[in-house]
Structure 1
Amino acid sequence: MSYHPEQELLKQFATGDIDSAHAAAVATHIETCSHCRQLVAKFEEEAAEDLVASGTEGAISDNDLALVFENMMNDITTLDADYSRPKVRSAASIEVNGKTFKVPATLKPFVDRMGEWKSYGGKVFTSNIDLDEDCKVSLLYISEGVQVPQHTHKGFESTLVLHGSFSDENGFYAAGDFIREDGETKHAPQTSASQDCLCLSILTEPMIFTQGVARIFNRFGKGMYP
């Protein structure tokens, strides 16, 4: 894979200061990307060191530590879980356009929250995922030999390729690639004549079409979500 989350996003993932949509996208990416996985481990270690350092500056009393330990043990002993069996995460399956795709286990909670597939001309399909967050999250399927109208963004568009590939003016993207675009980008994603594509799409603001008849959608509010 050639495209990765920027380091700031990986740091936010390591410290937990990240929204659930991007957290799931990054978690899925690092499952198959050793480079980003190592960076996350490094950032987690740095965050732990910072936490220890801040703790020594404001010393915690023995009584406070004892209370924390007691509360932790109470929580553990009251949990209804069997820790003798390792947790096994399984992938989920989705069906779109007559095809079945396996979705990584890291995204299985998203599959459980999927809405109905919407079709645009029988070539592009989207299913919105209800996360009750400010960003718009969806699964996006593009059939073979299709070009999405050129557009830009008022906010950010994060895309994680789950299956197949697509290209635009800036590059070629295959399974596992993570791409993040903003208002400085104008692009028209397209699939090849022999390859379709399934992506996870995260939009913080609607798309703004910049060419052709699709610009009519810009008149309906601030733009359009897929």
Structure 2
Amino acid sequence: MSHHPNSELLKLYATGEIDSAHGAAIASHIESCSECRAEVMKFEAEAGEAMMSLSSKEEKSSKDLELVFSNMLDDIMTLDADYSKPKVRKPGRVQVDGKEFIVPATIAPLVERMSEWRSYGGKVFTSTIDVDEECRVSLLYINQGVQVPQHTHKGFESTLVLHGSFKDENGEYHVGDFIREDGETKHAPQTVEGQDCLCLSILTEPMIFTQGVARVFNMFGKGMYP
């Protein structure tokens, strides 16, 4: 694994300040990346120490604390849940172009909110995921031996590789890799013959095509979401 979330995203993940789509993508990445997992643990420890320091400065009476714990116990006792068995998250299943792929359990909740697949010439397929956030989240399937027209981005594009691999002008990307691009990047992702690719894509703004007839999608400066 050669491509990772930056420290800013990892810190937002550790402190719970990240959006749900990026949170799911990073959770999936760190399951198989010990380097990023260690960095998240460091940020979590720092956040814990900061909270402890803040708590020590606050003045709370013993009655206030007693009331807090009493309310917590009441909430726990009234929950209608069965804790006799641990909750196990199951991987998700994605079907596209006559194929089925297994995706990590961390991504499964997003898969459950997929829309119908849209096909671009039977080569590229996209399915928008309904999340109540400003970014556009989708699954992107690229068949083997396909090149996506060169484009850049008005905002950020985050990509998590779920199956297969692809490459562009900046390198090759494989399962588990997390890639983040912005307006400084112009690239034309492509798959090689014999290798398709399934990715989770998160866009904060539309992408802008920079070459060929695909530039017609840039009309009125709006760009295009996949």
The TM-score normalised by the length of structure 1 is 0.98
- Counterpart position of 2:119: 119
Residue correspondences, number: 226
d(CA) in 2 for partners of 1:126, 1:36: 29
d(CA) in 2 for partners of 1:127, 1:152: 21
d(CA) in 2 for partners of 1:60, 1:147: 62
Secondary structure of the 1:95 match is strand
CA drift of 1:61 comes to: 2.5
CA drift of 1:103 comes to: 1.2
- Counterpart position of 2:185: 185
- Counterpart position of 2:224: 224
- Counterpart position of 1:140: 140
Higher mean C-alpha deviation, range 215-224 or range 20-29: 215-224
d(CA) in 1 for partners of 2:26, 2:75: 29
Map 1:13-32 onto structure 2 (within 5 A): 13-32=13-32
CA drift of 1:220 comes to: 5.0
- Counterpart position of 1:102: 102
CA drift of 1:70 comes to: 1.4
d(CA) in 1 for partners of 2:138, 2:116: 11
- Counterpart position of 2:167: 167
- Counterpart position of 2:151: 151
- Counterpart position of 2:196: 196
CA drift of 1:59 comes to: 2.7
Could you tell me which amino acid in structure 2 is paired with residue 20 of structure 1? S
CA-based RMSD of the aligned residues comes to: 0.9
Deviations 1:168-205 (A, max 9, x none): 00110000000000000000000011110000000000
d(CA) in 2 for partners of 1:197, 1:125: 11
d(CA) in 1 for partners of 2:164, 2:91: 17
Query: Identity of aligned pairs, percent?
Result: 71
Deviations 1:35-80 (A, max 9, x none): 1111111111110000000111223322222122112111211111
Higher mean C-alpha deviation, range 201-210 or range 90-99: 90-99
Deviations 1:121-172 (A, max 9, x none): 1000000000021000000000000000000001000000000000000110
d(CA) in 2 for partners of 1:208, 1:221: 8
Secondary structure of the 1:94 match is strand
d(CA) in 1 for partners of 2:62, 2:168: 59
Secondary structure of the 1:35 match is helix
Task: In structure 1, list runs of 5 or more residues that go unmatched.
Answer: none
- Counterpart position of 1:67: 67
Secondary structure of the 2:107 match is helix
Task: Summarize the Cα distance change of 1:221–1:71 in structure 2 as closer, same or farther, 3 Å threshold.
Answer: farther
CA drift of 1:89 comes to: 1.0
Matched, 1:89 2:89: yes
Task: In structure 2, list runs of 5 or more residues that go unmatched.
Answer: none
CA drift of 1:109 comes to: 1.1
Secondary structure of the 1:106 match is coil
